[in-house]
Amino acid sequence: MKQAYVNGQPISREAVQFELDRLVKFYASHGMRPDEIKKNLDKLVEKAQEQAIGAKLLLDRAAQLDMPVPESAIDAQVEKVVEQVGGRDNFVKALAAQNLTEDAFRKELVKGCRVDALVAKACSGVPEPTEQEVEAYFREHSAEFVSDPQVLAQHILVKTEGMDAADKAQALDKIKEIRARIVAAGEPGEVGQAFTKAAQEHSDCPSGAQGGSLGWFGRGMMVPEFDKAAFGMKCGEVSDVIETQFGYHIILKTDEKAGGPQTLVDVADQIRDLLRHEARGRAMDAYVAELREKVKIEYR
């Protein structure tokens, strides 16, 4: 795929990849199966590049308008990120890993808030999807709304990447001891509490801050060894130690869904969100088309 340029400025591969990741995540969360995503990947990449061009045009336009952003809004966003990464220490480490200062990060948030305000203005006249539209979409696409089996689980990871044999042996002993303490807690509820506490204290995965919670996931979303163990366990069970490319894990399986055809009640919110997204997308396409007329876009 040729690289895009706006007024001579390149649209980076990273910007296109960012938009592609967002598209894949959105469509996957709205019923598009992995094989469908793979089949349509070329089209998604093209769409991602156009969205990256649009994002630059919006950033440039928002900067020209110099739309005001309250400091309190930036403070709130920073605190939200701090909470997501598990505390200020992790936040500072994450910034350092990206060679960013907090001041530079806040300036990027200001840009994002300005774009959000511009998008909200461009989409202000877009109506909400009606119940009739939601029902019509479901009738036309009902065959697509089939859920795969899913698992709800927590895990604890002790990393072994880059370790020699002796260090790996110590890591294995560590996670075996953690597992033994959890299992010794007794009743399922107490085991769950013990697992959550151990994950917060000992897991090397960022999910540890949330007690090791991985949320709901389907087959193929985790590495093979982890996937096989999680889907082969009983609910409430703590797995044996599992080794993957990342290190040693233990899993607590808390729930599962068998999968199968979904009803309108199951997917109404999902369809409503999709229709809203598409309607707003059309409004933004029209707005970005106006901006595109004022710049020179090339593909080399």
Domain harbouring 270, CATH code: 1.10.4030
User: Does 81 share its domain with 108?
Assistant: yes
217: which 2 tokens?
A: 């996931």
User: Does 269 share its domain with 135?
Assistant: yes
Q: In the beta sheet, which residues pair with residue 247?
A: 159, 244
What's residue 189's pLDDT? 79
User: Does 83 share its domain with 159?
Assistant: no
User: Does 57 share its domain with 126?
Assistant: yes
Tens digit of each residue's pLDDT, the chain (300 residues): 889 999 999 999 999 999 999 888 888 877 777 888 888 899 999 999 999 999 999 988 988 887 788 899 999 999 999 988 888 988 888 899 889 899 999 999 998 888 888 888 889 999 999 999 999 999 999 988 888 899 999 999 999 999 999 999 999 999 999 999 999 987 767 899 999 999 999 999 999 989 999 999 998 889 999 999 999 999 999 999 999 999 999 999 999 998 889 999 999 999 999 999 899 989 998 999 999 999 999 999
What DSSP character marks residue 152?
A: E
299: which 2 tokens?
A: 């593909």
What's residue 27's pLDDT? 83
What's residue 151's pLDDT? 95
Q: Looking at the 3D structure of the chain, how many domains does it have?
A: 2
Rounded Cα distance between 284 and 216, Å, is: 32
What DSSP character marks residue 143?
A: G
What ranges make up the beta strands (E) of 125-281?
146-147, 150-159, 213-218, 242-244, 247-257, 260-261
User: Does 13 share its domain with 133?
Assistant: yes
User: Does 85 share its domain with 175?
Assistant: no
pTM, two decimal places: 0.56
What's residue 144's pLDDT? 85
What's residue 4's pLDDT? 93
What's residue 103's pLDDT? 93
User: Does 120 share its domain with 216?
Assistant: no
User: Does 132 share its domain with 268?
Assistant: yes
Q: In the beta sheet, which residues pair with residue 6?
A: 9, 297
User: Does 86 share its domain with 124?
Assistant: yes
Rounded Cα distance between 152 and 257, Å, is: 8
Rounded Cα distance between 168 and 291, Å, is: 56
Last residue of a domain, one of 227, 242, 257: 257
CA distances from 110 to 10, 76, 209 (A): 22, 12, 27
Rounded Cα distance between 49 and 213, Å, is: 33
Rounded Cα distance between 255 and 235, Å, is: 6
User: Does 102 share its domain with 68?
Assistant: yes
User: Does 33 share its domain with 131?
Assistant: yes
Q: Can you give the residue range of the structural domain that contains 99?
A: 4-140+264-299
CA dihedral 228, 229, 232, 236 (to 10 degrees): -150
User: Does 114 share its domain with 241?
Assistant: no
* Domain containing residue 252: CATH number: 3.10.50.40
